[in-house]
């Protein structure tokens, strides 16, 4: 038969479990914050990329629709 744990052993074990759970929750929270920061950075980069594409399209349209015509012989 296994001896029943004393009250102090149970208190110590509960304390260890609570500390472990708090540590895990803190780590999970830090990971989530990291993902959120990366998402904000991704949004900024996507906006800059979209702006660059729109500028490229605008410049291309300007050259294609300008009054100069190109003929091939």
Q: What is the mean pLDDT of residues 61-73?
A: 75
The tens digit of pLDDT for each residue in 4-55 reads 778 889 899 999 999 999 999 999 999 999 999 999 999 999 999 999 999 9
Please report which confidence band the pLDDT of residue 70 belongs to, taking 50, 70 and 90 as the band edges: low
The residue length of the chain stands at 73
**Residue 58 DSSP code:** H
Give residue for tokens 């260890």: 16
Q: 5 near 13, Cβ under 8 Å?
A: yes
Every domain of the chain and the residues it spans: 8-73
Sole residue written with tokens 């990291």: 34
């Amino acid at each position: 038969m296994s001896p029943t744990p004393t009250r102090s052993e149970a208190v110590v074990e509960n304390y260890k479990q609570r500390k472990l759970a708090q540590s895990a929750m803190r780590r999970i929270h830090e990971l989530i914050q990291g993902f959120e920061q990366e998402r904000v950075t991704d949004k900024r980069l996507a906006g800059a990329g979209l702006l660059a594409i729109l500028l490229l399209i605008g410049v291309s349209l300007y050259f294609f629709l300008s009054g100069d015509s190109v003929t091939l012989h």
